[in-house]
Chains A and B, each alone.
Chain A
Amino acid sequence: MSPWGYVVLGWAITLVVVVGYVVITMQRGRALSRQVPAEEQRWM
């Protein structure tokens, strides 16, 4: 593999993992917020 191939692979792995985690985190938040009344969702 060329040096550019390694660069693209390293960046692609990082972005896929981090973006995947962000999406999962947001989905978990949305799913849980549907189960809790609005008045109990305040934490700050």
Chain B
Amino acid sequence: MLGVIVLAGTAVTLWLSFVATPADAVQGEAVRLLYVHVPSVTVAYVACGITFVASGMWLWKRTEWWDLVGSSAAEIASVFTAVTLLSGMVWGQATWGTAWEWDPRLTSTLFLFLLLVGYQALRAASPDRSSRARRSAVVGLLLVPNIVIVNRSVQWWRSLHQDATLFRTDLDFRIEGLMLFTWVFATAVGLVLLAWLLMHRFRIGWLANRVEERRLGDALTARRAEATS
């Protein structure tokens, strides 16, 4: 059901983004990248938030469920952070004339991506399930503080990246009408996709643990058989 909603929602988002919405007075046609770039980073932020909460819960409860929720969300976050960086580079080339600058927002987002890659590498390198969960939970707790730095970087330092468009303390929103609706709609579709991916990725982690247990059980049985023969 969620998959059908995502497919239909993506089709509507494409129509809204490419056909229905007007060009921007300042950015022209390039504004159509907003409807893919900003929802992507929102999905990445929410997935990082889930990993952060799940990491804290694992350190408290030490259950397989929280480890799988955290690691599943972290993998999805790394995919959407990569997409954010790539679509942002294309948008930057179109509007700033450069795909990359060592700007606070871009650099802190790259650091977030490297943190997520490190999270995956740490899990892959850890020999047993308990140490894998413990080490990755510690890294998972670093994600939300890093997101705060990414999000606030345009206010704390001089940045090429634009300031917040919607979530502004002065309530001077920079977007309205169909453009605002398309942005919100694309974000909603992205969040449904996140829920769908999270369920499937969780199931993969669950099955991988069962396969690992079966292999360990088979190996122990074989060793016992060798010892008694």
Contact = CB atoms under 8 A, between A and B. Distances in A.
A7 B204 contact: no
Given A7-B29, A43-B202, A13 B207 contact: no
A36 B91 contact: no
Contacts of B208: 32
Contacts of B17: 11
- How many chain A residues sit at the interface, stated as a range, is 20 to 34
Interface of B: 14, 17-18, 28-30, 32-33, 36-37, 40, 79-80, 82-83, 86-87, 90-91, 93-94, 193, 197, 200-204, 206-208, 210-211, 214
27 contacts: A1-B93, A3-B29, A6-B91, A6-B94, A7-B30, A9-B90, A10-B87, A10-B91, A11-B17, A11-B36, A13-B83, A14-B40, A17-B86, A18-B79, A18-B83, A21-B197, A25-B197, A25-B204, A26-B200, A29-B203, A33-B207, A35-B207, A35-B214, A36-B207, A36-B210, A36-B211, A43-B206
Interface string A1-40: 1011011011101100110011001101100110110001
Contacts of B214: 35-36
Contacts of B33: 6-7, 10-11
A24 to B, nearest CB: 10
A14 B94 contact: no
B202 A13 contact: no
A16 to B, nearest CB: 10
Contacts of B93: 1, 6
Given A9-B90, A25-B200, 12 more contacts: A3-B28, A3-B94, A10-B37, A10-B94, A11-B33, A11-B36, A14-B86, A18-B79, A18-B80, A18-B193, A35-B207, A43-B206
